[in-house]
Amino acid sequence: MTATNQPRDVWSSLLPEPLPTQDTELLRQIGFIPGLKELLMVRQVHALEHATVWVLSGASDPSIPDIDFNANWTDTGNLGGLSTEQGFYLYGQVETSEVRRAAREALTRMKGGEWNLAVHPRCGTNFSVGMLLTASLAFSVHLLLPRGPIEQLLGFGFAASTATQLTPELGRLVQQYITTAVPFNLTIQDVAVIADRKGEPDAWGRPTHFIQTAWVN
């Protein structure tokens, strides 16, 4: 690998570039491991979920180093998602035809190399990593510091603020390499409005779509 490789932002710098056959190969070799296929599926679906949200918010290829993971993204747009191995839920005031168009465009663009679409700053992963870090740092500090109440309090405050500062970057890396993968194996099967038992939108008044995907080896 040389420095003159075409830059894919941060993709090519440390780990190998995503290959279209990577998950198929993995399944062929160690697919007998229980839960592996589901994990690989949900990673790809998760990336498609993020990409669809990017497309719906009108993004051209977002540059990962430029994404501000510290910004208050909760105020921008009203879209949310939840991924499963069968597809993803999309919460937000969007027409079904628009969701269908965006999901298809997202898949095409990702397969075409716009891998940055897989990473979204408003992902729940950021939060979970923060929680994890806060917990483990707090635990280490608890073990290291003398057991006075003031020191304990200072220690926990320090742990919490350190985790907050580390989280955006770490959350991005976790998203990029662990909780998402380029959806090379996915196709979109169906896009439909999901209603609850009363046939109404969710608790926040937002309609819910389910984008059903299928896995192609």
SS3 at position 189? strand
Separation CA 194–CA 207 (nearest Å): 7
| Of 73 and 156, CB closest to Zn ion | 73
Compute the least distance from the CB of residue 142 to Zn ion, in Å: 31
Chain position whose Cβ is nearest to Zn ion:
123
- How many residues are present in the chain? 217
Q: Count of CB atoms within 10 A of residue 172's CB?
A: 22
- 194 membership: H or E segment, kind and range: strand 186-194
- Distance CA(164)–CA(127), nearest Å, equals 10
Q: Between residues 79 and 188, which has the closer beta carbon with respect to Zn ion?
A: 79
The CA distances from residue 29 to 23, 24, 32, 36, 186, in Å, are 10, 9, 8, 11, 20
Closest approach of Cβ 207 to Zn ion, in Å? 20
CB of 126 to Zn ion, least distance (A): 8
Contact assessment for residue 129 and residue 190, using Cβ atoms and an 8 Å cutoff: no
Specify the residue, 79 or 123, whose C-beta has the smaller distance to Zn ion.
123
Torsion of CA 27, 28, 29, 30, to 10 degrees: 40
Helix (H, G, I), strand (E, B) or coil at 95: coil
Please, which residue, 106 or 123, has the CB nearer to Zn ion? 123
Cβ 21 to Zn ion shortest distance, Å: 25
Minimum Å gap between C-beta 179 and Zn ion is: 7
Whichever of 67 and 138 has its CB closer to Zn ion, that residue is: 67
| Smallest gap from residue 181 Cβ to Zn ion (A) | 13
H/E element, 210: strand 208-215
Residues in touch with Zn ion (CB under 5 A): 123
Of 92 and 155, nearer to Zn ion (C-beta) is: 92
